[in-house]
Amino acid sequence: MRNLAVPPLLLAMLSAGSSADAQMAARAPAATSEILLTSEGGARQSLLENVPFRMGLAEGTVISVFPDSTKQTIHGIGTSFTESSAFVLAHLEPQQRRELMQKVYGEAGANFTLTRTPIGACDFSVDGRYSYADEPGDRELKAFSIAQDVAGFDPVGHPGIADPDYDLLPMIKEALAIKREQRDQELKIIASAWTAPAWMKDIGTWYIPGSAANNWQGTGGSLKPEYVSTYADYLVRYLDAYAQAGVALWGLTPVNEPHGNGGNWESMDFTPGSQNDFVKNHLGPRLLNSRQAETRLLVYDQNMDGLERWADVIFADPETTPYVYGAAVHWYASTFNVFEDVLDRVHARFPDFAIIHTEGCIDNLGTAATGGIGDPAGYKESGWFQNDGFWWNATATDWAYTAEWAGAGAADHPVYTPVHRYARNIIVGLDHWVGGWVDWNIVLDRNGGPNHVGNFCGAPIMIDTGTREVYYTPVFHILSQFSRTIRPGDKAVRTRRVLDALDPDALHACATVNGDGLLSVQLLNTTKNAIACKLQIADRYAEITIPANSVQTVRVRL
């Protein structure tokens, strides 16, 4: 494939009138087609004036895009369904809730296309500690039921509930109904279990929190050998039950975060070797021979930095790979590092496998840092509800911003800007082989819950369940801007940054192109000043100004 950025020698050839080069030049755009902006200055997916392209090879700060050098296929951008999100939405009157869901899944809204849902309990469950087969020793899963997902919420026990019949499965079906109303729209759902039923595990319970006595090393336990095959049956039974309820699952991961979470909430451990054995000898064959054989199996499902070790075991096993579509990753290993070197190496060795980001959020919302490190100035005073400034500035700390992590892990976990973390991770990820990106809870209450273990987090939409006030955070608007301009079936294309005197983190870029030749270039300016740069395509470039602290999408018709 030919690259469309034109070196000086080729410019000279163009002047000589080569017919092949003339054809290539004809693909160069005359002007941008659309420019969208979301910024700290108040723009929210705002439409800006288009700018013209001019002949020549740009110098200085340049973003070069090579539309003929296509890379991975994009599966979509989106967010997740959880019981906690359904609980918060159940506090809204049905009409207000439907309006919100249209803004999330409707064609005139964010139009999210990729999402995720837990299989059974997770930390973002209202009460937690449940599965769909809680009868001990029930190897044949006779008591299996997804009733928990349609049980609703008792308004007596939960004052303020406006729709007691609303729950996780009704939420998913409401989103799917919105998609069905639209032409040719799909919602791909990835399902992940946080744990097997407690009786299948060696600890006999959901999780065991750590304590000072054991160095805070809690556990989620592992599958008992005699129940490994039963757990595979359990996952396939879940897929069947949801299909019967009208929800087809696009993807499945064997377990969320197989390295564990320190026993802080529902979890279950796998090693690369034990998960490889589980997929090869149990889950893979059962899934392939089931009615849900089209469900795509994604392994791993934890932080990007650990992907390589898992890929080297699972993707390299020829007996396992027929069952595996790719790997799922999360962002929690760092508040700024996207580990693009890891992504590149995994793709280089295993190019046939997809990499999909399945979870990221502003975690530990409102939790004070320990050991005298302290929170950022104004963090607690300003808050995050109805306060865009929190999301656009270095105000957030994550789980590793503590005295316990002040050594080896601290460098990857400084105070960070929430919008930057989202936009950087998506842009850099898509530029380095990530084929889809999913946020965690789409909706939480104004405190970042409910969460049955107090692990409060930020969400794109936050709601005061007492007043029913809805806050669409800046994160919602940037996710919406990405989703509207990066669609399923688009191809990522190669880009190159020349930043001149800028800091390497000042400006990030990625690009995708659809089948109709519409190119979308995503630009993140992390600085407090506007950045002037040139967008080079073929033998022409446009002068682009990216306002301070903003995410800008430049669309070009090739």
Tell whether 81 and 51 lie within a shared domain: no
DSSP-based three-state secondary structure for 229: helix
* pLDDT attached to residue 217: 81
Tell whether 202 and 135 lie within a shared domain: yes
* pLDDT attached to residue 11: 40
* pLDDT attached to residue 344: 98
Tell whether 127 and 81 lie within a shared domain: yes
The residue-averaged pLDDT of 35-44 equals: 98
Tell whether 333 and 467 lie within a shared domain: yes
- Which of 485, 504, 537 is at the close of a domain? 485
User: Does 100 score more than 90 pLDDT?
Assistant: yes
Tell whether 524 and 393 lie within a shared domain: no
Is residue 157 classed exposed, middle or buried when 0-12, 13-18 and 19+ CB atoms within 10 A define those classes? exposed
Distances 527 to 8, 90, 420, 422, 553 between C-alpha atoms, Å:
32, 39, 10, 15, 17
The residue-averaged pLDDT of 346-375 equals: 82
100: domain CATH number is: 3.20.20.80
User: Does 380 score more than 70 pLDDT?
Assistant: no
Mean pLDDT of the chain: 92
User: Does 114 score more than 90 pLDDT?
Assistant: yes
Give the Cα separation of 168 and 133 in Å (integer). Answer: 17
Length in residues, the chain: 558
Give the Cα separation of 14 and 73 in Å (integer). Answer: 32
User: Does 54 score more than 60 pLDDT?
Assistant: yes
The residue-averaged pLDDT of 133-140 equals: 98
- Residue 195's closest CA among 127, 125, 118, 136? 118
Q: Is residue 3 part of a domain?
A: no
**Helix axes 307-314 and 340-349, enclosed angle (nearest 10):** 10
Tell whether 543 and 445 lie within a shared domain: no
* Other residues' Cβ atoms within 10 Å of the Cβ of residue 20: 9
Q: Is residue 507 part of a domain?
A: yes
Q: Is residue 2 part of a domain?
A: no
The residue-averaged pLDDT of 359-376 equals: 69
CB 439 within 8 A of CB 346: no
* pLDDT attached to residue 401: 78
* Other residues' Cβ atoms within 10 Å of the Cβ of residue 148: 18
Tell whether 280 and 225 lie within a shared domain: yes
Q: Is residue 222 part of a domain?
A: yes
Q: H or E element: which one contains 175?
A: helix 168-181
The residue-averaged pLDDT of 433-453 equals: 97
> What is the percent of the chain with per-residue pLDDT over 70, rounded to a whole number?
90
User: Does 196 score more than 70 pLDDT?
Assistant: yes
- What's the number of CA atoms in the CB half-sphere (13 Å) around residue 5? 17
* 218-269 pLDDT tens trace: 899 999 999 999 999 999 999 999 999 999 999 999 999 999 999 999 999 9
- Which of 446, 467, 485 is at the close of a domain? 485
Domain that holds residue 518: 8-72+491-557
Beta bridge partners of 252: 191, 297
Tell whether 427 and 508 lie within a shared domain: no
Res. 364 pLDDT band, cuts 50 70 90: confident
DSSP-based three-state secondary structure for 477: helix
User: Does 20 score more than 50 pLDDT?
Assistant: no
* Other residues' Cβ atoms within 10 Å of the Cβ of residue 451: 23
Which pair of tokens denotes residue 190?
A: 């990835």
Give the Cα separation of 7 and 13 in Å (integer). Answer: 10
* pLDDT attached to residue 397: 86
Tell whether 86 and 195 lie within a shared domain: yes
Number of helices (H) and strands (E) in the chain: give both, helices first.
14, 21
- The residue whose two tokens read 């446009």 is 542
- Which of 435, 469, 485 is at the close of a domain? 485
Q: Is residue 517 part of a domain?
A: yes
Which pair of tokens denotes residue 294?
A: 């089209």
CB 363 within 8 A of CB 335: no
Res. 430 pLDDT band, cuts 50 70 90: very high
Contacts 24+ apart (CB under 8 A), 470-474: 470/92, 470/96, 470/100, 471/385, 471/386, 471/446, 472/103, 473/384, 473/388, 473/391, 474/38, 474/40, 474/44, 474/388, 474/391, 474/392, 474/418, 474/419
DSSP secondary structure letter of residue 321: G
Res. 523 pLDDT band, cuts 50 70 90: very high
* pLDDT attached to residue 402: 65
498: domain CATH number is: 2.60.40.1180
User: Does 383 score more than 90 pLDDT?
Assistant: no
* pLDDT attached to residue 409: 59
Residue 156 zone, left/alpha/beta (φ > 0; ψ -120 to 50; rest): alpha
CB 373 within 8 A of CB 365: no
Q: Is residue 86 part of a domain?
A: yes
Tell whether 448 and 547 lie within a shared domain: no
**Least-confidence region, from 12-16, 31-35, 44-48, 343-347:** 12-16
The residue-averaged pLDDT of 418-433 equals: 98
Tell whether 280 and 366 lie within a shared domain: yes
> What is the percent of the chain with per-residue pLDDT over 90, rounded to a whole number?
85
Tell whether 459 and 364 lie within a shared domain: yes
Q: Is residue 383 part of a domain?
A: yes
User: Does 437 score more than 70 pLDDT?
Assistant: yes
Domain count, the chain: 2
Q: H or E element: which one contains 67?
A: strand 62-73
Q: Is residue 331 part of a domain?
A: yes
* pLDDT attached to residue 28: 81
* 298-335 pLDDT tens trace: 999 999 999 999 999 999 999 999 999 999 999 999 99
Res. 27 pLDDT band, cuts 50 70 90: low
Give the Cα separation of 528 and 394 in Å (integer). Answer: 12
* pLDDT attached to residue 14: 37
